[in-house]
Amino acid sequence: MTDWREQLIVPRAPFIPSVVWVDDPTTDGFVAVSRNDDEPRWRALVEADEPIITQVDDGTTEPGTTGLQPSSSCSQPSLVAAMLSALEVREGHRVLEIGTGTGWNAAQLSERVGTGEHVVTVEVDPAVAGDARRALTGAGYSPWVVTGDGTNGYPPAAPYDRVICTASVRAIPRAWIDQTRPGGVIVAPWGTDYGDDALTRLEVHEDGSASGRCGINLAFMRIRHQRRDFLEPTADELNAADATRTTRGGRELFEMVTFARAAFTIGLRVPSCYLTVEDVDEDHRLIELHDVRSRSWARATLVRGKDPWTVHQLGPRRLWNEVDAAYAWWCDAGKPTPDRYGLTVTPDGRHDVWIDAPDDERRWSLTF
């Protein structure tokens, strides 16, 4: 198998802005690292097999202050290689990329298809798109860089042989399928609100459907209008919350929040449920579930050596009960791993998931 470094023809450094952002443990936010002020640290970030945050808070936070939320990045190189491998881009293909970011991936695509004119890359943020255009031009590449909502695709250059999304999605937009020729391929980090996403590869069919398999674990930023959000109950709400005890032990709770175990399945069976896990210290962990639309919330408070643990729940949904039931289903189904799942998007946009084969009896339609 080819090493991922050999698959990435284009160097990364020319596409990384002079200011990037890193975790700040003091504030639990993000602070800027400038190439001008600390070139060795900037260079180490560029050369590492790690994602690089290139924008926070949709560009509203300036260097010298603390950012709260990453909003654009350059993806981890080994995952970039894995996605390009799944896409199977060949010379002469027409490719649509959703999420230009720094432009580095668009440059990789341009090398593979043989000409930048066969690559269209769509970026929702005008400032990010402008920086990518300049970086691509400076490096000698000429894909079409379009500023707009990538979920709409880009009809003027359709049909495409390949579509790749470099941001996470919970639903595959109909436009991507409509703009891909039959036999074409769509690759995207796809998943639910509950946890990380799976590298998902779909083939488009003559009848307007698309289907394929899920794969490795990916943790990408969500496209902007599908972002996940959380609730912070007030003290009064917490005091009024229903309190019970969980019967699950530590190993079971670990499986419930781990992608490779039950988490992917739980997300598929419990709609609109955003999972967050916070390790307060070595002895305390909070597992929280959020549904901002119904204003439902749950928290399991884990204290080392003090189980069974307390669960608080608020709102019309009992999210912990739903997640617990989904975990039980996963166990009864033989504990399927994420790579056993497949997805079919029907011509009318319905998302059906299945285990092992599309006609398996363990098949159901997702709700969003």
CATH number at residue 318: 3.30.160.690
318 and 250 in a common domain: yes
Closest CA to 149 of 173, 177, 118: 173
In tens digits, the chain (368 residues) has pLDDT values of 468 888 999 999 999 999 999 999 999 899 999 999 999 999 999 999 999 999 999 999 999 999 999 999 999 999 999 999 999 999 999 999 999 999 999 999 999 999 878 999 999 999 999 999 999 999 999 999 999 999 999 999 999 999 999 999 999 999 999 999 999 999 999 999 999 999 999 999 999 999 999 999 999 999 998 999 999 999 999 999 999 999 999 999 999 999 999 999 999 999 999 999 999 999 999 999 999 999 999 999 999 999 899 999 999 999 999 999 999 999 999 999 999 999 999 999 999 999 999 999 999 999 98
What is the DSSP secondary-structure string of 152-221? G--GGG--EEEEEESSBBSS--HHHHHTEEEEEEEEEEE--SSS-EEEEEEEE-TTS-EEEE--SEE--P
10 Å CB burial of residue 14 (0-12, 13-18, 19+) is: middle
Residues 131 and 82 in one domain: yes
Q: What pLDDT, on a 0 to 100 scale, did the predictor assign at position 2?
A: 61
Does residue 119 form part of some domain?
yes
Residue 17, domain member (yes or no): yes
pTM recorded for the entire structure: 0.96
Distance CA(317)–CA(51), nearest Å, equals 36
> Domain span at residue 58?
7-74
Same domain, 50 and 110: no
Residue 366, in any domain of the structure: no
Alpha helices in the chain (DSSP H): 4-7, 39-47, 77-87, 104-113, 126-138, 174-178, 235-240, 250-256, 264-269, 319-332
Same domain, 60 and 88: no
Residues in contact with 69: Cβ distance below 8 Å, sequence separation at least 6, in sequence order: 56, 57
Query: Among residues 74, 89, 111, which one ends one of the domains?
Result: 74
Instruction: Examine the domain organization and report whether 82 and 192 are in the same domain.
Output: yes
Whether residues 82 and 123 share a domain: the answer is: yes
Q: Which residues are catalytic?
A: 75
Choosing from 56, 74, 92, the residue where a domain stops is: 74
How remote is the C-alpha of 258 from its chain's centroid? 15
Verify that 84 and 152 share a domain, yes or no.
Answer: yes
**Token digits for 119?**
């690559």
Is the CB of residue 227 less than 8 Å from the CB of residue 285? Answer: no
Q: Does residue 342 lie within any of the structural domains?
A: no
Whether 364 is in a domain gets the answer no
